[in-house]
Amino acid sequence: MEIAIIGGGAAGFFAAIAAKENYPQASVVIFEKSKTLLAKVMVSGGGRCNLTNACSSIKELSEAYPRGEKALKRAFRIFDNQDVMHWFESRNVPLVTQQDHCVFPLSQDSQSIIDCFLEQTRKLNIKIELETGIKTIKKTTDSLQLGFIGGKLPDRSFDKVIVATGGCPQRTGLEWLEKLGHQIADPVPSLFTFKMPDEAITELMGIVVDPTQVSIQGTKLKSEGPLLITHWGMSGPAILKLSALGARLLSEKHYDFKIQVNWTNVRNQDLVVAELKRITAEHPKKILSNLRPYALPERLWNYLLEKSNLSPSKKWGELGKAGLNKMADLLTNDAYSVRGQTQFRDEFVTCGGVSLESIDFKTMQSKVCDNLYFAGEVMDIDGITGGYNFQAAWTTAFIAAKLN
């Protein structure tokens, strides 16, 4: 049996290893169009590789995917995050789970994951062809014939082909799959940070507020978590999650919109007003700059006072009802204009790809082309930050490589 894996990334390697273990007598080869293997694994998590999330249930796990939630919920019953952690630990990659449930190799080095994959491919005699892109896939009577870019290799037939090429930022990169009859969801960026060229808050770069609540004005989109102020705008999990949830909508808006930030992480503004009244009653002679509600960072608090035209030297007891309401509104509904997006360097996630309507999720086989399977981000599946995108890659690759 001849099995081809198209793509030398996370999903590709996982699929190749699983396929060889399922079909020990088969010839398995990975075709990678570039000179580099596992590039995204190398940079993920700041070079530490956030390989999954240790959330406690399949329901919670599947809810982390703005695209693909229902399909993945079924798939996770076959191979979930607990299975992934066991898979790596059983192959001598000890793991550690952070307080936020993000899972990393104990070494805190993505090279541990790469070394594991390369060791497994050597052990299983899986062949790897670099700088070998696929130009065409042609159906034959009982196999698929691959044509290679540049004529480096002659056309070759395979009994099973797994496409694991990753996210494609341009629709043109998916035309070879569209020509076979697959529906394509237009690709747009996901997991990106917000540019704010007109906002003075960028002068506070480096400040992290955890937790916050962030929403997009005029929509129902909202998220919560740590927020990082950068020299170009805002980043951090709260922003990245919001960008994933609104990937298509924000693309339609041409990345020109407004967000509202709740710096207190308290949803009920009346409770914020009550807290400010308590501070006023207990510390009427304290000046505003010396008593920061909700333990806000000092530079941010002073920035917010200036934004609300409240003097830092003013005393809490001098605020009055109007001053308290003004402060509460700013703390819970602080608005900023976004003008553009910046790719999150550790993720490179794309919303869009081969439509799930073209795929049988029980097997990951194409509905329009027998013996052709899909794994990973080439499909219209993407998750929020926190190890979820790799989890989808492992799960779909495992299923695509199963015995039929």
For residue 220, pLDDT beyond 60: yes
Confidence of residue 344 (pLDDT cuts 50, 70, 90): low
Domains (range + CATH), the chain: 2-189+346-400 (3.50.50.60), 192-343 (no CATH)
Q: How far is CA 386 from CA 8, 43, 98, in A?
A: 22, 14, 11
**How is the beta sheet containing 27-31 ordered, strand by strand?**
127-129, 27-31, 2-6, 160-163, 372-374, 365-366, 359-360
Q: Given the structure tokens 């503004």, which residue do they identify?
A: 269
Q: Which residues fall within 8 angstroms of residue 200, CB to CB, at 6 or more apart?
A: 303
The pLDDT-based confidence of 349 (bands split at 50, 70, 90) is confident
pLDDT (tens digit, 9 = 90+) per residue, 175-213?
999 999 999 999 999 999 999 999 999 999 999 999 999
Question: Average pLDDT, whole number, for the chain?
Answer: 95
Percent of the chain at pLDDT > 90 equals 92
Q: Is the pLDDT of residue 404 over 80?
A: no
352-371 average pLDDT score:
96
Give CA torsion, residues 228, 234, 238, 242, to 10 deg.
-170
Q: What are phi and psi of 27, to 5 degrees?
A: -95, 120
Predicted pLDDT of residue 346 = 52
This prediction has a pTM of 0.92
User: Higher-confidence residue: 46 or 371?
Assistant: 371
CB-count burial class (<10 Å; 0-12, 13-18, 19+) for 211:
middle
More confident residue, 345 or 264: 264
Q: Give yes or no for a cis peptide into 237 (omega within 30° of 0).
A: no
Q: Are 236 and 227 in contact (CB under 8 A)?
A: yes
pLDDT for position 345: 56
Q: Tally DSSP H helices, then E strands, for the chain.
A: 13, 22
